[in-house]
Chain A
Amino acid sequence: MSEILSMKNVSVHFPVKGGLPFFNRGVIQAVSDVSLTIRHGETFGIVGESGCGKTTLANTMIGMVKPTNGQVLFNGTDLNALPREEFKRVRRQMQMIFQDPFSSLNPRFNVYQLISEPMFIRGEDSEEAMVARVVELLELVGLSSEDLYRHPSDFSGGQRQRIGIARAISLNPSFLVCDEPVSALDVSIHAQILNLLVEIQEQLKLTYVFISHNLADVKNICDRMAVMYLGKVMESGDSDKIFRDPKHPYTQALLAAVLDTSFDERRKQAILQGDIPSPINPPVGCRFWQRCPQAMEGCKTVPPGLIGVEEDHHVACHLVNGFPNGELPQDYDRPLAKPDVRS
């Protein structure tokens, strides 16, 4: 299968500016050294906790954020090397669905204006063609032509998200980034929107990037995925393989933290200690060592590389891959004592 998008050693750093004069300035390493490939027609999931860089990564994919280092190749062309006009043309192929349907729709616009805005900006269609296209899109997402001149405030959260989806597919994109598309919605609407996304993908042969913190959604909708922590990919590859046999301790902990409604037993949960460290001065070695239940002495200083353990399944962990040969610190494989274990 061919690749639609690939990222090569992409890093995105944001300088911390301003604040008090004696405030320590630094650099937020939102994404560091991420390489991944997304194939035509698949759904690629990005999972992680807040602040792990998943939204920044998605913004980098569609060229909204320029990477500090590395390349983003869309259908083989480097997005950030394109001249402005050319970039705008390529960019029409890539659209985004946002998390919050309440703030991502302009409340002063009616549905027609909202959905036709991308076509209006492209400036190739007549008014009649745009109306016809908007009606067609509304029907595709489960709304009707009666809704054409209503405003976002007349709609519920789920309906607004449908408008957001219609707007995103109005220019027939091939690549769609869904940034937490259902996390602001109620349970009963949640499934409706996910089903709609799956339907549209099949009809229009789209490639999705699906960002979520909900592992159950990712498992059900994604073909391949990446688990992120503090700007780094911890585990990536075929989502079936990752869910069947999670190798990285962080992936395992994320899975264990999912509360389940099945009542076979109140499952014992391996609860992670502590909070996510700040991305301003991330740990030198493995980014996860401070919270890792199986961390070793060497994890503090030696950063693990993302290495394949089987076909299309990569893990960045010394525990799985072993330490690289060469200069290793003393006692590198001594397990770290964990005195601060809270009940």
Chain B
Amino acid sequence: MKQMLKLRNLKVVFPTDYGVIRAVESVDLDIGDRECVALVGESGCGKTVTSQSVMRLIESPPAITRVDSIWFDGREIKDLSPKEMQEIRGKDMAMIFQDAMTSLNPVMTVGNQIDEMYMRHQGDSKSEARKKTVKALELIGLPEPEARANSFPHQLSGGMRQRVLLAMAFACMPKLIIADEPTTALDVTIQAQVLKTLRGMQQGCGTALLLVTHDLSVVASIADTVYVMYAGKIVEKAPVKELFTSPYHPYTVGLMAAVPRLTDKKRKFTQIPGTVPHPARKPSGCYFHPRCEYATEQCKREMPPLQPIGQDREVRCFHPLRTGGAERE
């Protein structure tokens, strides 16, 4: 498979008054052409910082970013000037944010905001751009696209606003789209609509997708490959089906068990004990060992390496659980 994005050894550090926060530690990420890769983790695990670093949106200072390579679509982009990066953003790489209300400009019609994409990146005139905008809105499944293009964001519902963001991200047919929690703010029935549109657009346009989310059920429904993050490190990487049928890392196992399901027994919820460590006070050894029921002396001393296990899979654990999901009921 052709590689669309190859991120190597990304480290992001924020010096603060409370100490140094190592938000992302040595993360490698590979996204193939037309692939949907999900980055899953709880809040504060570094998934958003990772995705924004790919677009080089993390400002330095305050952050200190070190990366060996950001190889995107056949070239190295880690040393590009801000101006060159602007050419790439929106055109070759686009982003969909979680909260559509705050990421759209409230005093511009949504049509004008999408027009800007075509005018800026494709050099279209205003009228050409508007034609393309209406077409994009139609493609994304917005009823009455021409009228909707003249609406302001507050006149649209949450689901429609999220669709406008999708239309904007797909406007210039980028090669990679980064979607940061695209459906978290939506209701279940609307979430299902938007996810279906996102998946359909991604496959139709042949775009690679990096999906950042905390919601495992969203991952299960659209991703191809999954990276699980914990406290700034990748702990497991696997194709989606294998990850859900036989997770290896105890954290992944715990996370899956903790998702309440419709098939569960009454009044008993499987939980992971303890809490995520404070990013400035991470434990020694494996970051997960204080919450892990299988932890040994070795886990307390050393950080396990991310090692290959089976085909296409990697896990950062000294004692990967072969039985995985079989333990559940």
Interface residues of A (CB under 8 A from B): 49-50, 156-159, 186-192, 194-195, 198, 213-217, 219-221, 243, 253-255, 257-263, 266, 269, 271-272, 275-276, 340, 342-343
Chain B residues, CB < 8 A from A269: 192, 196
List 10 tightest A-B contacts by C-beta distance, closest first: A259-B217, A191-B271, A191-B269, A216-B260, A49-B187, A188-B272, A186-B42, A257-B192, A275-B157, A257-B188
Is A260's CB under 8 angstroms from B261's CB?
yes
Judge if B308 is at the interface, Cβ distance under 8 Å.
no
Q: How many residues of B contact A (CB 8 A)?
A: 50
Is A50's CB under 8 angstroms from B187's CB?
yes
> Could you name 8 residue pairs across A and B whose Cβ atoms are closer than 8 Å?
A49-B187, A188-B42, A188-B271, A192-B271, A254-B188, A254-B189, A259-B218, A262-B244
Could you tell me the distance between the alpha carbons of A272 and B192 in the complex, rounded to whole angstroms? Answer: 8
Given contacts A213-B187, A272-B189, A275-B159, contact A220 B241 (CB under 8 A): no
Is B260's CB under 8 angstroms from A186's CB?
no
Could you tell me the distance between the alpha carbons of A253 and B259 in the complex, rounded to whole angstroms? Answer: 21
The residue on B at minimum CB distance from A219 is: B262
Is B192's CB under 8 angstroms from A213's CB?
no
Is B214's CB under 8 angstroms from A187's CB?
yes
The residue on A at minimum CB distance from B243 is: A263
Is B157's CB under 8 angstroms from A260's CB?
no
Is B263's CB under 8 angstroms from A262's CB?
yes
Is A195's CB under 8 angstroms from B214's CB?
no
Interface string of B233-261 (1 = CB under 8 A from A): 00000000100110000000011101111
Chain B residues, CB < 8 A from A258: 188, 217, 262
Chain B residues, CB < 8 A from A253: 189
Chain A residues, CB < 8 A from B216: 187, 261
Given contacts A188-B275, A216-B261, A259-B221, 9 further A-B contacts (CB under 8 A): A187-B42, A187-B255, A191-B270, A257-B192, A260-B261, A261-B259, A263-B220, A272-B189, A275-B190
The residue on A at minimum CB distance from B219 is: A261
Interface string of B16-50 (1 = CB under 8 A from A): 00000000000000000000000000110000000
Is B192's CB under 8 angstroms from A195's CB?
no
Judge if B264 is at the interface, Cβ distance under 8 Å.
yes
Is A276's CB under 8 angstroms from B260's CB?
no
Chain B residues, CB < 8 A from A194: 260, 269
Could you tell me the distance between the alpha carbons of A314 and B177 in the complex, rounded to whole angstroms? Answer: 46
Could you tell me the distance between the alpha carbons of A156 and B220 in the complex, rounded to whole angstroms? Answer: 28
B94: shortest Cβ distance to chain A, in Å?
23
